[in-house]
Amino acid sequence: MSVRQSLLAILAQGPCYGYQLRSEFERRTGSSTSLNVGQIYSTLERLERDGFVSRGEVDKDGHTYWEITDAGRAEAAAWLASPVSRSLGTRDELAIKLALAATLPGVDVIDLIRAQRRTSMAHLESLRRATFRGDTGGGPEELAWALVTESTVFAAEAEVRWLDHVEDQLIAHPARTMALEIETRRPKRGRPVSSRPAPVAP
């Protein structure tokens, strides 16, 4: 999640002060994610340094209103128009845990998967039971909440399906045949040992 661009997108609608930005962010994302006010102010200061926002007027209560610049408006528009690219380098703790467990001798990976499935299913059911706590008139805030909530439901359903797939794979290839012994060859610095056979010279 880009806090910088999210704040710019909100400021493109009009000047706001820090707490107001937090409230607007939560309102527009279904209160699914809360931003720390300190994080908002430190982000605003960086945006000011980069020329994307400027300090505006201060009201009678001492609130400093932040205003977006032309450069900030262009940055927000570019962010909104750009697809989100999922990084291949993102580490998924569950996938890494099961991959390691499947290669360790003496670990019952099927038990691990079934225990994880119970936890994942409970999480999925709690997401499915979640209800919007604001005005249920079908307005934009409820729509924002639904978009974020449904995204987490789909992700949880995908995790359960993936666990089923992993269990099927491991039943087809029992873990005892997949265990890896510690490699005795000394790895080269910075590069993992290749498991492929060396090429034969012609």
Alpha helical stretches, state H, the chain: 3-11, 18-28, 37-49, 70-81, 93-103, 109-129, 140-172, 175-178
Burial label for 16, CB within 10 Å (0-12, 13-18, 19+), is buried
Task: Name which of 3-17, 26-40, 139-153 the model is least confident about.
Answer: 26-40
Q: How far apart, in Å, do the first and last CA atoms of the chain sit?
A: 53
Question: Would you state the pLDDT for residue 32?
Answer: 65
E strands present in the chain: 53-58, 64-68
- Residue 198: which pLDDT band, with cuts at 50, 70 and 90? low
Residue 195 has pLDDT above 70, yes or no: no
- Residues contacting residue 107 through CB under 8 Å, at least 6 positions apart: 101, 175
The 8-class DSSP code of residue 16 comes to: B
pLDDT in tens, 129-151: 988 877 767 788 888 888 988 99
CA–CA gap between residue 73 and residue 10 (Å, rounded): 10
- Residues contacting residue 3 through CB under 8 Å, at least 6 positions apart: 35, 39, 40, 43
Residue boundaries of the structural domains of the chain? 3-81, 93-178
Residue 196 has pLDDT above 60, yes or no: no
Question: Would you state the pLDDT for residue 119?
Answer: 94
Q: What is the CATH number of domain 3-81?
A: 1.10.10.10
The mean pLDDT value for 62-81 works out to: 94
- Residues contacting residue 124 through CB under 8 Å, at least 6 positions apart: 153, 156, 157, 160
CA–CA gap between residue 89 and residue 116 (Å, rounded): 23
Mean pLDDT of the chain: 85
CA–CA gap between residue 16 and residue 10 (Å, rounded): 8
The mean pLDDT value for 7-35 works out to: 87
Radius of gyration for the alpha carbons in the chain, expressed in angstroms and rounded: 25
Question: Would you state the pLDDT for residue 137?
Answer: 72
CA–CA gap between residue 45 and residue 57 (Å, rounded): 16
Residue 188 has pLDDT above 80, yes or no: no
